Amino acid sequence: MTDRLYYDDSYLTEFDGTLLECAEKEGAYHVRLDRSAFYPTSGGQPFDTGTLGDARVLDVYVDGAGEVWHALDRPLAPGATVRGRIDWPRRFDHMQQHAGDHMIASALWRLLGGVTIGLHISGDVSTIDVAMPEGVTRVSAEDIRRVEDDVNERVQRDVAVRCWFPEPEELKTLPLRKPPTVSEHVRVVAIGEDEMVACGGTHPATAGQIGLVKILGVAPARGKMRVSFVAGMRALNDYRACFDRVHEAAALLSTATENLPGHVAAMQEQLRSAGFELNRLRRDTAVAELTAGLEAAPTLPGGARVVSRLLEGDINLIKEVASQLIKQSGIAVLLGVRTGEGAAAFVFARSRDVEIHMGRVLSEAARPLGGKGGGRPDFAQGGGPVEVLESAMRILKNKPTSV
């Protein structure tokens, strides 16, 4: 079985190994060594990259027999001794994320009773899935702050990180946060005095090397609580990006960064007021224009005048316009507003004295064109292609009172 050198030294970046086997598969060359410092994908931690001799390492994985395989971009000769070189920035980043995971999981368990059931380290953000008491999938901002403070206080104290393979008798006595998922060759990671769990990943020697841990968010995921976080340089880069954006926004608004929330809130209120006023003006303008054109509007055999128009705005606007128009007698209204390329939302309405079922008109006009809609005799809503308006007009002309 492959001697996994990273178990003893996570900081080992170069090593020599004898190549035992090389096989071509799916466009890559898969090799097995007698010893390797490359970490294979497992436990939510991605594989290491780097080089073996002059070949690039594309993937590292473990087969069913526990052997470590390296997928390369070119073949290597079996029996040769090759020098392996680990991509250290990637390795150390994963060490920081994995240790951050342990510390967040420990704080969630001690402070909130959450049991971590999964870790995923991606290229930008890491996530932990947590089973919380009573199945809750969200916690308060105050609780998240407690967890962050607990983790970073231990980071700043630079508590020790220890990784070892305890003997079976010792393993029985250890206060593990949760039971191991394997029964043999159990490796234990302890961080400080209050985090201890079985883990085969790579970690820094002390918590201080993590630098900083920041929880980015908490959200439900498959019935559990998913915690997103960044650690180490990722946390610094996240802070730097936020810092730059906040200062850029403050400069654009000619205000200090501490005044941004109040400034933005005031702008939102101004925009809401302006939006209300714009909608009022649009409504009044549309009502006035459509009313002015009633004399020239098509008249059905029953005497009702039909107003049909595609307006600019939203569904609420055409609902208000329709409601205003049908206050007059003898009016049937077919209004639409664009919702996308060739698509629209519709409101069909009529005055009390007009005997037309507008819900049926809309349904009959929309469905053959792939749209949908319906409603009461006097008021209906739906959506579909803009051609629904023309179809509805034809229906009204053909069935002015029996629809």
SS3 per-residue string spanning 339-375: EECCEEEEEEEECCCCCCCHHHHHHHHHHHHCCEEEE
Q: Which of 71, 86, 101 is the last residue of a domain?
A: 86
Asked if 403 and 380 touch (Cβ cutoff 8 Å), the reply is no
Same domain? For 103 and 210 the reply is yes
pLDDT along the chain (403 residues), means of 10: 94 97 93 97 95 97 94 94 97 97 97 94 95 95 97 97 95 94 91 95 97 97 96 96 95 93 93 88 82 80 87 88 90 92 94 92 94 93 94 84 49
What's the confidence (pLDDT) of residue 73? 95
Same domain? For 174 and 229 the reply is yes
Q: Which of 61, 86, 111 is the last residue of a domain?
A: 86
Sign of CA dihedral 245, 251, 257, 259: negative
Same domain? For 188 and 294 the reply is no
Q: Domain span at residue 11?
A: 3-86
Same domain? For 105 and 230 the reply is yes
Asked if the structure places residue 380 within a domain, the reply is yes
Residue 341: CATH number of its domain:
3.10.310.40
Asked if the structure places residue 295 within a domain, the reply is yes
Domain count, the chain: 3
Strands 331-340 and 305-311: parallel
Asked if the structure places residue 145 within a domain, the reply is yes
Q: What is the pTM of this model?
A: 0.75
What's the confidence (pLDDT) of residue 403? 55
What's the confidence (pLDDT) of residue 21? 94
Asked if the structure places residue 118 within a domain, the reply is yes
Runs of H (alpha helix) within 77-140: 88-107
Q: Which of 34, 60, 86 is the last residue of a domain?
A: 86
Residue 350 corresponds to which tokens in the numbers above? 């009529």
Residue 157 corresponds to which tokens in the numbers above? 């104290």
Asked if the structure places residue 252 within a domain, the reply is no
Sign of CA dihedral 253, 254, 257, 259: negative
Same domain? For 304 and 350 the reply is yes
Same domain? For 77 and 122 the reply is no
Same domain? For 131 and 179 the reply is yes
What's the confidence (pLDDT) of residue 113? 96
Asked if the structure places residue 298 within a domain, the reply is yes
pLDDT digits (tens, 9 = 90+) for 146-161: 999 999 999 999 999 9
Same domain? For 217 and 111 the reply is yes
Asked if the structure places residue 208 within a domain, the reply is yes
Q: Give whole-number Cα distances, 375 to 176, 346, 387, in Å.
A: 62, 11, 19
What's the confidence (pLDDT) of residue 402? 46
Rounded CA-CA distance 273/282 in Å is 14
Same domain? For 154 and 57 the reply is no
Count the neighbouring beta carbons within 10 Å of the beta carbon of residue 14.
11
Same domain? For 110 and 215 the reply is yes
Residue 156: CATH number of its domain:
3.30.980.10
Same domain? For 329 and 284 the reply is yes
Q: How does DSSP classify residue 391?
A: H
Q: Which of 68, 82, 85 is nearest to 17 (CA)?
A: 82
Q: Which of 26, 25, 33 is nearest to 50 (CA)?
A: 33
Rounded CA-CA distance 6/201 in Å is 9
Same domain? For 102 and 185 the reply is yes
Cα angle value 389/365/393 (rounded, 5°):
45
Asked if the structure places residue 258 within a domain, the reply is no
Rounded CA-CA distance 161/158 in Å is 9
Residue 19: CATH number of its domain:
2.40.30.130
Strand intervals (E) in 63-205:
68-72, 81-86, 115-121, 126-131, 161-164, 188-191, 195-198
What's the confidence (pLDDT) of residue 116? 94
Strand partners, 196: 190
